Amino acid sequence: MYLCILDSKGAVLLHRNIPCEPEKFLRAIAPYRDDLVVAVECMFTGYWLADLCAREGIAFVLGHALYMKVIHGAKAKNDRIDSRKIAALLKGGLIPKSYVYPAEMRASRDLFRRRTHFVRHRGQLLAHIQNTHHQYNCVSPGKRIAYRSNREGIAEAFDDIAAQTSLATDLELVDYYDALIGNLELTVLRQVRIPAIVNTQIG
């Protein structure tokens, strides 16, 4: 990762590429630890740095990637240029901040994101089934095919073997996603209930 450190006047004190290793990062910033604030663009690869700064008592700012237009809109873009601009935005108080998730909540947040990812894929499959009916000018299923009980016989309604195979594949994947998403939701519900039980016992 590229590390750029500015002083209070904006002069560059350090600007070089270093390995993503905690010991080497701490060694590089050691001469500048007083009043140091670390800022990074919001990326999942910054988890370790956020945790390290929390343990070391170093102020940490997570920049909101979508709103950092100064970086994304530049003609020339690389890690060296980005690190300098992030440092300048931070110094000027202009860096758009993103919420820094606590380490103990991060895995649950990522699990929610994976569920959303799978739900979208499932929705795309269902949309393809509906679009295939329009493509072949076939009567669409009268009931919501989001429910498994309403999906029986859909593929067999087509005469073309290729269309049957395509829809059968979609339906098989939808069934798989139904089971996968259901298991994820059970895991999420268990994690939500455990803190609630603990808080009730403490109260």
More confident residue, 108 or 168: 168
pLDDT tier, 5 (very low <50, low <70, confident <90, very high otherwise): very high
Q: Are residues 152 and 90 in the same domain?
A: no
Rounded to an integer, what distance in angstroms lies between the CA atom of residue 26 and that of residue 28? Answer: 5
Q: Are residues 91 and 159 in the same domain?
A: no
* Main-chain dihedrals φ then ψ at residue 17, nearest 5 degrees: -85, 130
Structural domain count, the chain: 2
pTM (two decimals): 0.72
What are 12's strand-pairing partners?
6
C-alpha Rg value of the chain to the nearest Å:
25
Tell which of 69, 98, 127 closes a domain: 98
For 30-48, write each residue's pLDDT tens digit.
999 999 999 998 887 789 9
For 105-136, write each residue's pLDDT tens digit.
888 888 999 999 999 999 999 999 999 999 99
Q: Which residues contact 78 (CB under 8 A, 6 or more apart)?
A: none
**Residue 81: pLDDT over 60:** yes
Identify the domain containing residue 128 by its residue range.
Answer: 103-202
